[in-house]
C-alpha cells in the first residue's frame, strides 16, 4: 500500500518535473526521484507490464479464438475449402452464389424478423420488470430470483418443455386459447407461427438477465433527483421519462448493444426448438452458417455467409454508437 | 568454357537421372509393398496397430473386434483409440487433415467416404476388395471410387419392417410378408386401426404404425425403390420420384395411422418407446433396433411381447422385385494412408478379417448386423434369447437388395441438408409435396453443387 502511494507521489513529481513546474510541491518532491528505487520510465514500464499481465488471459484468448479466426475469415470467404488440405481461391464465386441463394435470403429475413420483434419486446419487458422490482415490493428478492431463473436454465430442457406447452393439440397454451378462439395456431408445426413461438421463448429466457443489468443501473440513480422532481410537482410518468430514462442511458445503451448482437447471432434456440423448421421458416443466419460448414463441409461458402453476418452486426452496432454519441453531445 | 558447360550439363543430367531413379525405386518399392498387402504380412513379427472407436463403454464392437483379432493373430496387438460418438467425424476430419489418423478407422457414414478418400487420407485397399469379388455374402456396391476401393463395409444395417406379433394376432390381422407393397402396408394399418380397440388397445394412444420423423423414412425408401438410378434423379436434383411416397406418408398421418410428424418431431418421440411399449404395431426401422429391443425387453424398458422382422414393403407402382429392395447405411473400415510396412500389412490383415466371416461372427454375437452375412452368421445373430427366431425374420434380415441411403457423391451432403428442410415443410403441411420438391430442386441448383 505504501508503495502505491509512493508511486503516485513519484508520478506527480515526474509530471511536475516534465512540465517544468518549479512550484513548491515540485521542488520538494524532486529529490525523491533520486532516492527512490524507481525512476519514471521503470514505473511506467512496470505499470504497463502489470496491466498487460492482468488483461493477457482474456486478450490472448481474444486474439487466438476471435481476432485471428475473424481475420482469416476474410481470406476463406473467397475460397473453396472442405477443411481438408488448403483453401483454394475461387474469386467472387461464393459471392455470386450468395446473391441468388434463396435459403440465404430467407435466413437473413428470419434473423431480421427475430431481432426486430425480440429486441423491443425484451427491452420493454426487462425495463418494466426492473422498475417494478426496484420499487418497495414485498418479496422482491424472491421475484428477482424467479425472473432470473430462465436465464440459468438449460436451453435444451427448456426447449423440450416449451415444445410440450406449444403442442397444437394437447398443449396447455392451445387448451387455454381454445377458450377464446376455436382455431388456435399450430405453433412449432406451422410456418407462420413457429417464429413467434421461438421469439416468445427467446424473450422469456433473456428478460431476467437484462432485468438484472437494468436493475443495477436503476440503483445508481440518486434518490435526490426523484425527491427534487417530486417537489416540482411531477407525476410518476414524468419522473420516469425525465429522470429515469436519461439517467439510465449508459445502461440502456449497453443493454441495447448486447441484446442486438445476441439477437442477430441467435442459434441455440432455433437449433433445439425447431431445427430451422418447418421448412426454412425459423432458419436463422447463424444456423445456416453452421449447416453449410458442418453438415455440408463447405467452409468456404460458410465463411462468406459469416462475413455477411459480421457486417450486419457491425453496421447495426455502429449505428447505435453513432446515435448514442449524438445524444451525449 | 564450352567443355565446362558440357560437363556441368552432363553432371546435372546424371544427377537428375540418379534422383529420378532413386525416386522411381522408392515409389516402386512402396507401391509393391502396398499391393502385396496381406501377402506381405509377417505373422511372426510383433506389431501394434491403432484402431479408432467411439463410446467404448456403450459400443463393445471395437474392443471385441480388436481382442478377437489379437486372439487369432497373437503377434498383432490392436489398440483402440477412443473418439467421441457425436463428434467422431469432426475429430477424425481434424486428425486426417493433420495426418494423425489411427492405422485403421471406421467411416460412420458413406457420405463422408468420398470426402475422406478425396482428402488423400485413406490407403488404397483394392486388393482386399478384389478378394471379395463374386462373393454373394457381402455387397461392395458404392465403394468403388475413381476405380479404387478405399474402405470396406464391416457393419451394414438395412431397413426392415418391425412388427408386433401379439398385436397382429389379437386384432386378427394377417402378418406382413415378403410380398407386401406400401399399399398392403396401408391396408393392414386400416384393418388394425379398426380392430385394435376391440382387442383391448387404447384407441387414443395406440397406432397401427409409427413412421419416425427422419427424412430417410420417406426419402431413402423412395430413392431405393423408384427404379431409377440416383445419377439421373437425386444427383440431377430431380426429386419428383418422392412425390408418391410423400402422398402416402401424408395420407397415413391424416388417417391417424401414425403419430403425425409434427408431434413426433416437437415432442422428440422416441421410436424405441413407441414400438417397445406397444404403441405401434408396425415400424419401418434399421436392423440395429433388433439388438436394442432385445436388451430393452430384458431390462424392462420395453414391454415383453413377441415380435418379428419383415422385409420393407415395396413400391406399389413397380413390379414386385425378386429380392425385396430396401436401403441401408454401411459402416466401413479404412486404413490410413500414413501407415506403411509391417503396420500397413497388419492393418490390411485386420480389415480383411473384420470385414469377412471372422469379424462378422464376432459382431453377430453382439447382435450387431455385420456387412458379411452367410448362414453361419445368420444363425449366430438369431441365437440369443428374446431375438425373433422365425424363418421370415431371418430372411428379412439376411436377404435383401440393399441400396445406399443416399448416393455416394460430393454433392450429397448439400442436397441432403436441403432435403431435410423439404421433409419438414412437406410433413407439416406447409408445402404440398409437388411444391416442396420443386422448391428443393431450385434450392439445390442455386447452391451450385451440381455442376462441379
Q: Residue B330: helix, strand or coil by DSSP? A: strand
By C-alpha distance, the chain B residue nearest A163 is: B266
Is residue B75 within 8 Å of B44, Cβ to Cβ?
A: yes
- Domain positions in chain B are 10-156+330-390, 158-324+407-447
- Which residue of B430, B444, B445, B448 to mutate against A (max A Cβ within 10 Å)? B430
Q: Which of B413, B428, B446 sits opposite A101 (nearest CB)?
A: B446
How far apart, in whole angstroms, are the C-alpha atoms of residue B142 and residue B123? 17
Contacts of B229 (CB under 8 A, 6+ apart): none
pLDDT the model gives residue A308: 94
Task: Report the pLDDT value the prediction gives residue B39, as an integer from 0 to 100.
Answer: 52
- Convert A307-326 to b/e letters by CB count within 10 Å (16 or more is b): bbbbebbeebbeeeeeebee
Which of B96-105, B198-207, B404-413 has maximum average pLDDT?
Answer: B198-207
The proportion of chain B whose per-residue pLDDT surpasses 70, expressed as a percent, equals 91
Per-residue model confidence (pLDDT) at position A143? 87
Q: Which residues from A are below 8 Å from B120, CB to CB?
A: 85
Give Cα B44 to chain centroid, integer Å: 35
Q: Quick one: which of B29, B9, B20, B13 has its CA closest to B344?
A: B29
Which pLDDT band holds residue B28 (cuts at 50, 70, 90)? very low
- Pairing, β B151-164 against β B325-335: antiparallel
Binning chain A into helix, strand and coil, the percentages to the nearest 5 are 75, 0, 25
Q: How far apart are the first and last CA of chain B?
A: 55
CB-CB neighbors (< 8 A) of B448 in chain A? 93, 97
Does pLDDT of B239 surpass 50? Answer: yes
CB-CB under 8 Å, B265 with A277: yes
| Residue pair A10/A40 in contact by the 8 Å Cβ criterion | yes
Closest CB from A82, A103, A278 relative to B430: A278
Q: Give the pLDDT of chain A (329 residues) as one tens digit per residue.
A: 344 444 444 444 444 444 444 444 444 454 454 555 568 888 999 999 999 999 999 999 999 999 999 999 999 999 988 777 788 898 888 999 899 888 999 999 999 999 999 999 999 999 999 988 888 888 888 888 888 889 998 988 898 899 889 988 888 999 999 999 888 888 888 888 999 999 999 999 999 999 999 999 999 999 899 899 989 888 888 988 888 888 998 899 999 999 999 999 999 999 888 888 788 899 999 999 998 988 888 899 999 999 999 999 999 999 999 998 888 77
pLDDT band for B381, please (50, 70, 90 cuts): very high
State the pLDDT at residue A208. 92
CB contact under 8 A, B262 and A281: no
pLDDT of residue B291: 86
CATH architecture of B10-156+330-390: 3-Layer(aba) Sandwich (3.40)
CATH top class, domain B158-324+407-447: alpha beta
Q: Is A82 on the interface with B (CB under 8 A)?
A: yes
> What count of CB pairs under 8 Å joins A to B?
92
Residue B339 near residue B69, CB atoms below 8 Å: no
Touching check for A103 and chain B: CB below 8 Å?
Answer: yes
Query: A17 near A23, Cβ under 8 Å?
Result: no
- Cβ atoms of A291 and A68 within 8 Å: the answer is no
Give residue limits of the domains in chain A: 102-328
Q: What is the overall mean pLDDT for chain B?
A: 86
Give the lowest-confidence range in B64-68, B108-112, B249-253, B405-409. B108-112
Burial class (CB in 10 A: 0-12, 13-18, 19+), B44: exposed
Cβ–Cβ contact A161 with B under 8 A = no
**What average pLDDT does range B407-420 have in this prediction?**
87
| CB nearest B417 (choices: A166, A168, A296) | A296
pLDDT of residue B451: 62
d(C-alpha A270, C-alpha A268), whole Å: 6
Q: Which residues pair with A31 in a beta bridge?
A: none
| Residue B88 or B40, more confident | B88
B182, B189, B281 from B196: Cα distances, Å: 20, 10, 9
Identity of the residue in B97, B424, B447 whose CB atom sits nearest the CB atom of A83: B97
Please give, rounded to a whole number of angstroms, the shortest distance from the CA of A87 to a CA of chain B: 12
Residues on chain A touching B431 (C-beta within 8 angstroms): 279
The reply to whether residue A85 touches residue B268, judged by beta carbons under 8 angstroms, is no
Phi, psi angle pair for B76, to nearest 5°: -105, 125
For helices B412-427 and B433-446, what crossing angle results, to 10°? 150
| Highest mean pLDDT, choosing among A93-107, B53-67, B185-199 | B185-199
Task: Give the residue, B188 or B30, on which the prediction is more confident.
Answer: B188
Residue of B nearest to A276 (CA): B421
Note the residue count of chain B. 452
User: What pLDDT is recorded for position A37?
Assistant: 59
For residue B37, pLDDT beyond 50 = no
pLDDT given at position A12: 45
Range B340-356 average pLDDT: 93
Q: Do the chains contact at A102 and B446, CB–CB below 8 Å?
A: yes
What string of DSSP letters covers A241-253? IIIIHHHTHHHHH
Q: What is the CA angle A304-A310-A316, rounded to 5?
A: 140
The mean per-residue pLDDT over the stretch B200-206 comes to 91
Which stretches within B287-386 are classed as H helix? 288-299, 341-355, 357-365, 375-381
Q: Which residue has the higher pLDDT, B141 or B445?
A: B445
- Residues in A closer than 8 angstroms to B417, CB to CB, are 291, 295-296
| Record: contact A296-B413, CB cut-off 8 A | yes
Mean pLDDT for B197-224 is 94
**Which residue of A191, A277, A295 is in closest CB contact with B413?**
A295
**For B101, what's the count of Cα atoms within 13 Å in the CB-facing half-sphere?**
29
Q: Give the CATH class of A102-328.
A: mainly alpha
The stretch B291-320 carries a mean pLDDT of: 92
DSSP 8-state assignment for residue B327: E
Between B109 and B304, the higher pLDDT residue:
B304
Same fold, B10-156+330-390 and B158-324+407-447: yes
What is the average per-residue pLDDT within B160-173?
A: 95
Amino acid at each position: 500500500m505504501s508503495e502505491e502511494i509512493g508511486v503516485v507521489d513519484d508520478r506527480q513529481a515526474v509530471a511536475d518535473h516534465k512540465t517544468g513546474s518549479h512550484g513548491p510541491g515540485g521542488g520538494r518532491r524532486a529529490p525523491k526521484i533520486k532516492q527512490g528505487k524507481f525512476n519514471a520510465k521503470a514505473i511506467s514500464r512496470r505499470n504497463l507490464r502489470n496491466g498487460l499481465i492482468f488483461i493477457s488471459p482474456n486478450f490472448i484468448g481474444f486474439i487466438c479464438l476471435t481476432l485471428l479466426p475473424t481475420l482469416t475469415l476474410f481470406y476463406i470467404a473467397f475460397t473453396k475449402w472442405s477443411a481438408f488440405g488448403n483453401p483454394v481461391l475461387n474469386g467472387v464465386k461464393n459471392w455470386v452464389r450468395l446473391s441468388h441463394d434463396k435459403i440465404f435470403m430467407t435466413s437473413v429475413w428470419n434473423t431480421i424478423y427475430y431481432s426486430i420483434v425480440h429486441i423491443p419486446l425484451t427491452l420493454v419487458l426487462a425495463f418494466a420488470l426492473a422498475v417494478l422490482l426496484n420499487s418497495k415490493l414485498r418479496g422482491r428478492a424472491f421475484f428477482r430470483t424467479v425472473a432470473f431463473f430462465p436465464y440459468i436454465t438449460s436451453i435444451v430442457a427448456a426447449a423440450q418443455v416449451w415444445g410440450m406447452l406449444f403442442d397444437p393439440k394437447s398443449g396447455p397454451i392451445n387448451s387455454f386459447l381454445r377458450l377464446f378462439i376455436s382455431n388456435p395456431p399450430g405453433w412449432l408445426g406451422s410456418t407462420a407461427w413457429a417464429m413467434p413461438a421461438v421469439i416468445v421463448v427467446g424473450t422469456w429466457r433473456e428478460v431476467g438477465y437484462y432485468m438484472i443489468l437494468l436493475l443495477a443501473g436503476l440503483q445508481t440513480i440518486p434518490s435526490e433527483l426523484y425527491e427534487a422532481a417530486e417537489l416540482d410537482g411531477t407525476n410518476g410518468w414524468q419522473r420516469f421519462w425525465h429522470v429515469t430514462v436519461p439517467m439510465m442511458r449508459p445502461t440502456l445503451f449497453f443493454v441495447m448493444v448486447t441484446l442486438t448482437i445476441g439477437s442477430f447471432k441467435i442459434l441455440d434456440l432455433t437449433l433445439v426448438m425447431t431445427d430451422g423448421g418447418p421448412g426454412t421458416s425459423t432458419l436463422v443466419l447463424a444456423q445456416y452458417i453452421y449447416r453449410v460448414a458442418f453438415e455440408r463441409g463447405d467452409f468456404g461458402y460458410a465463411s462468406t455467409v459469416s462475413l455477411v453476418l459480421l457486417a450486419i452486426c457491425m453496421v447495426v452496432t455502429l449505428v447505435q454508437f453513432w446515435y448514442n454519441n449524438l445524444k451525449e453531445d | 568454357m564450352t567443355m565446362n558447360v558440357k560437363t556441368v550439363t552432363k553432371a546435372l543430367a546424371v544427377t537428375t537421372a540418379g534422383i529420378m531413379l532413386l525416386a522411381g525405386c522408392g515409389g516402386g518399392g512402396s507401391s509393391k509393398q502396398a499391393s502385396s498387402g496381406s501377402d506381405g504380412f509377417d505373422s511372426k513379427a510383433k506389431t501394434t496397430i491403432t484402431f479408432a472407436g467411439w463410446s467404448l463403454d456403450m459400443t463393445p464392437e471395437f474392443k471385441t473386434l480388436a481382442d478377437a483379432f489379437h486372439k487369432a493373430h497373437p503377434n498383432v496387438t490392436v489398440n483402440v483409440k477412443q473418439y467421441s460418438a457425436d463428434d467422431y467425424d469432426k475429430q477424425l476430419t481434424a486428425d486426417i487433415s493433420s495426418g494423425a489418423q489411427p492405422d485403421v478407422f471406421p467411416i460412420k457414414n458413406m457420405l463422408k467416404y468420398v470426402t475422406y478418400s478425396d482428402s488423400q487420407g485413406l490407403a488404397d485397399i483394392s486388393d482386399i476388395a478384389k478378394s471379395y469379388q463374386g462373393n454373394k455374402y457381402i455387397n461392395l456396391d458404392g465403394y468403388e471410387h475413381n476405380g479404387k476401393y478405399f474402405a470396406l463395409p464391416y457393419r451394414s444395417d438395412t431397413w426392415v419392417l418391425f412388427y408386433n406379433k401379439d398385436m397382429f394376432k389379437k386384432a386378427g390381422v394377417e402378418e406382413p410378408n415378403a410380398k407386401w407393397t406400401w399399399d398392403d402396408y396401408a391396408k393392414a394399418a386400416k384393418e388394425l386401426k379398426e380392430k385394435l380397440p376391440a382387442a383391448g388397445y387404447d384407441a387414443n394412444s395406440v397406432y397401427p404404425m409409427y413412421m419416425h420423423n427422419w427424412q430417410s423414412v420417406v426419402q431413402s425408401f423412395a430413392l431405393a425403390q423408384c427404379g431409377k438410378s440416383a445419377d439421373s434423379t437425386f444427383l440431377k436434383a430431380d426429386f419428383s420420384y418422392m412425390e408418391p411416397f410423400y402422398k402416402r406418408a401424408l395420407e397415413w398421418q391424416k388417417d391417424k395411422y401414425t403419430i403425425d410428424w409434427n408431434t413426433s418431431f416437437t415432442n422428440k418421440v422416441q421410436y424405441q418407446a413407441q414400438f417397445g411399449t406397444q404403441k405401434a404395431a408396425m415400424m419401418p426401422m434399421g436392423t440395429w433396433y433388433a439388438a436394442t429391443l432385445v436388451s430393452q425387453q430384458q431390462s424392462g424398458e420395453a414391454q415383453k411381447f413377441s415380435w418379428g422382422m419383415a422385409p420393407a414393403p415395396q413400391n406399389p407402382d413397380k413390379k414386385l422385385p425378386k429380392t425385396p429392395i430396401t436401403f441401408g447405411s454401411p459402416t466401413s473400415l479404412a486404413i490410413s494412408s500414413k501407415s506403411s510396412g509391417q503396420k500397413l500389412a497388419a492393418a490390411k490383415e485386420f480389415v480383411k478379417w473384420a470385414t469377412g466371416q471372422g469379424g462378422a461372427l464376432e459382431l453377430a454375437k453382439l447382435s450387431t448386423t455385420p456387412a458379411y452375412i452367410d448362414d453361419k452368421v445368420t444363425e449366430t445373430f438369431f441365437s440369443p434369447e428374446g431375438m425373433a427366431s422365425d424363418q421370415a425374420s431371418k430372411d428379412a434380415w439376411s436377404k435383401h437388395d440393399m441400396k445406399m441411403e443416399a448416393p455416394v457423391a460430393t454433392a450429397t451432403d448439400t442436397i441432403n441438408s436441403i432435403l431435410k428442410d423439404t421433409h419438414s415443410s412437406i410433413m407439416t403441411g406447409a408445402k404440398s409435396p409437388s411444391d416442396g420438391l420443386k422448391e428443393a430442386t431450385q434450392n439445390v441448383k442455386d447452391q451450385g453443387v451440381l455442376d462441379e
